[in-house]
Chains A and B, each alone.
Chain A
């Protein structure tokens, strides 16, 4: 049997007329990395705020480590930590002072606060900057100190709301490896992200949230498989050849790049396709085989969802 540390059932939340969460269901396995993937306004932060006891859902239940996030919020708080979407560090204090202050507010004793502070500064590569005011930190360092703070009390579950938004690619990679490191230590990580690549890299399980519902759920592989096989990309240098090919082949056309993307299916259909081109003396400038990226999956899922919605309307 799977060991769920977070269980969410039929969670609903509306602000006035605006339904933000429309019956959310999911489970997060203990010790795993779970990514909630969605576009701006999909309801990611709202979900995190309900799970971290900041707000109440209108209906439905959420439990963490067996405790109800609403009725037993005190116990939930002892098991979680939250790193919000916007850094909540004190700009005027140094990195070290921030950690010490939050350690004391976590009601750890003085000795332990000191020890944890030194450990976390080390772990997040901030030892050198420890005595500098946070306002002098780069975006990446700020994010790191923010996450370090949330680890002070050694929580079982940590919530990271868009931990890499606004970071440059290098800092993002660094953050990824730090998050992976945390998971190795047995912490359960619930993160939200708008980046498919991030979910792909980090998450054991991905849930795609759209319009307040989980529209798809699974491992990165499972999601990719859903959209099917490999794609064949044909790019044409010659505009006439491109025009001609569009008439002959059914696929996704990219006018600007003069590219056609085709779902290949069987080997037989692939052979037929190449034959057709050969018979018409059309020569693509490049032929590319490609596994679908999560981007494709995401576009596919969300556009399918919008279609359903407009069909219902």
Chain B
């Protein structure tokens, strides 16, 4: 009984994703980091700084999109570490000596990471609702939120697969995750960019996180979106395509080493 390459890519990819999922729950620290930290940040911002930050709406409503992408960004960046681990450890070599498409390794990390993103995002939404988050999004708005978040997460996941493939050691892969911790802070995630110094505002307004956050905010609580929706799709659509192609190329090259 011979089954097609596509069939095996999907089943092997799924087997590898199950593995990544198991990892999440076997490493409580990283689950804690991926969910606990953003929740803590959210609670802290809402209760400590929230009163002082003028956003024109309840601060909790303002901050939820930012917390979600901070969390997703950080969660995705962990993929780089696991990919590097598989490359420098023997797993990748072993898979390559077996009759299967070793690219299922990448698919597993991306899918597993995505499921981790979904879990973390759900937790954040729930905690946000508990502390007073009041979205007024309709059905289509919610679809938009889900679509954009998925695009964002998948593009980041592929980006970090690529980074994980490039890195030669787990330590450097670890270092590559740091920018993801900080990038959201230099955007409209936590404070309106108008409150920043001019030079920082220029960066914050033009980096991809800001249109994403503005769009999510618009969909969730009805603030104006303008052209931010298209900008978001452009930024992260390109990132997805580029990271995917680069990962594939590096993967092929590493096979020849």
Contact in complex: A107, B99 (CB < 8 Å): yes
Task: Mark A125-137 against chain B: 1 for CB-CB distance below 8 A, else 0.
Answer: 0000000010000
Contact in complex: A105, B90 (CB < 8 Å): no
Chain B interface SS verdict (over half):
helix
Known: A53-B97, A104-B15. A88 touches B22 (CB 8 A): no
Known: A84-B94, A133-B26. A90 touches B99 (CB 8 A): no
| Interface check A101, CB cutoff 8 A | yes
Residue in contact with A93 in the complex, picked from B19, B95, B97, CB distance below 8 Å: B19
| Interface check B253, CB cutoff 8 A | no
Distance in angstroms from B205 CB to nearest chain A CB is 42
Contact in complex: A84, B93 (CB < 8 Å): yes
Determine the chain B residues whose CB is within 8 A of the CB of A107 once the complex forms: 8, 99-100
| Interface check A86, CB cutoff 8 A | yes
| Interface check A172, CB cutoff 8 A | no
**Distance between Cα atoms of A84 and B96 in the complex (Å):** 12
Contact in complex: A81, B97 (CB < 8 Å): yes
Task: Mark B33-76 against chain A: 1 for CB-CB distance below 8 A, else 0.
Answer: 00000000000000000000000000000000000000000000
Interface residues of A in 76-100 (CB under 8 A from B): 77-78, 80-88, 90, 92-93, 97
Determine the chain A residues whose CB is within 8 A of the CB of B27 once the complex forms: 92
Distance in angstroms from B220 CB to nearest chain A CB is 36
| Interface check A287, CB cutoff 8 A | no
| Interface check B98, CB cutoff 8 A | yes
Interface residues of A in 36-91 (CB under 8 A from B): 49, 52-56, 74, 77-78, 80-88, 90
Determine the chain A residues whose CB is within 8 A of the CB of B8 once the complex forms: 107
Residue in contact with A55 in the complex, picked from B15, B94, B257, CB distance below 8 Å: B257
Residue in contact with A88 in the complex, picked from B19, B26, B89, CB distance below 8 Å: B89
**Distance between Cα atoms of A97 and B19 in the complex (Å):** 9
| Interface check B214, CB cutoff 8 A | no
Known: A55-B256, A55-B257, A86-B89. A77 touches B98 (CB 8 A): yes
Distance in angstroms from A203 CB to nearest chain B CB is 22
Distance in angstroms from B56 CB to nearest chain A CB is 46
Q: Interface of A with B (CB < 8 Å)?
A: 49, 52-56, 74, 77-78, 80-88, 90, 92-93, 97, 101-102, 104-107, 133, 149-150, 153
Q: Interface of B with A (CB < 8 Å)?
A: 8, 11-12, 15-16, 18-19, 22-23, 26-27, 89-91, 93-100, 104, 256-257
